[in-house]
Amino acid sequence: MRDVREAVGDRVKRRIREAGLDQGRLAEALGISRGALNRALNGGTRSLDLEMLERIGGVVGFRLGDVVLEDEGPSGPPPAVGPTLATEDLVRAVRVMSQFVENYASIENKRLDNERLRIQEEAATARLRIQSVEAYDAQDRAERGRAEYESQQAVRIAMERLAAISKIPHPAGRTEPPARRARAGAGA
């Protein structure tokens, strides 16, 4: 029976070829060595490196779940059912798939948690920006209010001084301005 790791690895390799990438360029895009990429694709470890396959899918443009569930189509006669297929092989295949599903679910949960954290961080940043703008606006209003108050005070002081100046008696003891007096004398 064909190993599940090999089947998934072959499907991922096919997707990489279809995308027009070679392993060297893909390894560079992932920021890993070519050997690490080769181990991930060829099942060089006892279990599938699901996180690495997920990263490969992000670069190449596929979802790992789609590759795992992909049907390869008939590649020869259907597998024999009955005494030729050992129960141990079926149990082993079910265990491998079960482990794969658990690992995939764990990766997907981590991805969702990271996305949730990213959104929460963006919301917190937005709230801080809003608070900053509100604080600046309040400070600006306070400064405008203070400037308006100072302007009003300056006008009040100027008006008081003007009123005080108009109450000062004329040095010659006259209360009306000289121009009026001259006009009054010419008309008489």
CATH of the domain at 29: 1.10.260.40
Asked if the structure places residue 88 within a domain, the reply is no
Q: 175 CB contacts (<8 Å, ≥6 apart)? A: 169
The Cα 4–Cα 91 span in angstroms is: 13
Asked if the structure places residue 29 within a domain, the reply is yes
The first and second tokens of residue 10, run together, are 């072959």
Number of domains forming the structure of the chain: 1
Asked if the structure places residue 21 within a domain, the reply is yes
- The type of residue at 49 is D
The DSSP call for residue 172 is T
The Cα 176–Cα 182 span in angstroms is: 10
Which pLDDT score, from 0 to 100, does residue 119 have? 92
Statement: residue 49 has pLDDT above 70 = no
Structural domain harbouring 38 = 1-69
Asked if the structure places residue 51 within a domain, the reply is yes
The first and second tokens of residue 152, run together, are 């009003």
Asked if the structure places residue 93 within a domain, the reply is no
Task: Band the pLDDT of 83: cuts 50, 70, 90.
Answer: very low
Asked if the structure places residue 27 within a domain, the reply is yes
Q: Which of 32-46, 57-71, 80-94, 124-138 is most confident?
A: 124-138
Asked if the structure places residue 39 within a domain, the reply is yes
Asked if the structure places residue 144 within a domain, the reply is no
Which pLDDT score, from 0 to 100, does residue 77 have? 43
Statement: residue 120 has pLDDT above 70 = yes
